[in-house]
Amino acid sequence: MTTDHSTPDAANSFETGREPIDPTALFKKLAPANIRYEQLSRVITATILTVIAAIALLIWWLNNGTDTVWLLLLAAVFTFLAYLFAMAWRWPSVSYQHTSWKLDEEGLEIHRGVFWKHQISVPLGRVQHADVSQGPIQRSFGLGTLVIHTAGTQNSSVVLSGLSQTTATELRDQIITQKRGDYVV
């Protein structure tokens, strides 16, 4: 006697000849250019912090001279800055792998986070309006940011950056079009 341990989806897929649909397969990734954009943005930030640290260390050195504390402080700061540059280069690739989104008839759902996972759902009924923005560095990479403003006061806007500009615009238009269908007169 054999027992059927298959799920209803598996039985249904066997009968219809189709593979079961994986719900996570419906999610889309951000634009691949977002990795390079994030790397550049983080390297710019790391460079600014390096210049500030170098100036602060130079001022401290001129006022206190060289001693053991100076060398330890110098080693600690430059070790931290090396780590900062390494993470500026590596982290965007890791973060990219853990960020996805989907838009369906219910609303927009965003999954992100490497260590702390965030699942954000924006029902279309809560959407007030949607914007697309693009900074100068984003423009050079062809990227845009979708901002959805919802009803409510706390956390009333949801930001999805790293989309291609055309995808962000199309997504905004789809949300507006689907939202219009929800109005009851």
| Residue 108 φ then ψ, to 5° | -100, 135
- Stretch 157-183: mean pLDDT: 85
Query: 4 pLDDT exceeds 80?
Result: no
37, 162 in Cβ contact below 8 A? Answer: yes
Residue pLDDT, tens place only, 80-125: 888 888 888 899 999 999 999 998 888 899 999 999 999 988 888 8
Q: What is the mean pLDDT of the chain?
A: 81
CATH 1.10.1740.10 applies to domain 100-182: no
What element of type H or E holds 145? strand 143-150
Residue pLDDT, tens place only, 123-136: 888 888 899 999 99
Query: 14 pLDDT exceeds 80?
Result: no
Residue 22 DSSP one-character state: P
Report how far residue 137's alpha carbon sits from residue 83's, in angstroms, rounded to the nearest whole number. 24
Instruction: State the Cα torsion 70-64-50-78 to the nearest 10°.
Output: 0
Query: 147 pLDDT exceeds 60?
Result: yes
pLDDT-derived band at 32 (thresholds 50, 70, 90) equals: very high
The whole-number pLDDT of residue 80 equals: 86
The whole-number pLDDT of residue 1 equals: 45
The whole-number pLDDT of residue 106 equals: 85
Range scoring the smallest mean pLDDT among 4-13, 85-94, 167-176? 4-13
Report how far residue 65's alpha carbon sits from residue 110's, in angstroms, rounded to the nearest whole number. 53
33, 141 in Cβ contact below 8 A? Answer: yes
The whole-number pLDDT of residue 55 equals: 87
103, 123 in Cβ contact below 8 A? Answer: no
Query: Considering the entire predicted model, what is its pTM?
Result: 0.73
- Stretch 40-48: mean pLDDT: 91
pLDDT-derived band at 22 (thresholds 50, 70, 90) equals: low
Query: 165 pLDDT exceeds 60?
Result: yes
3 state SS of 52:
helix
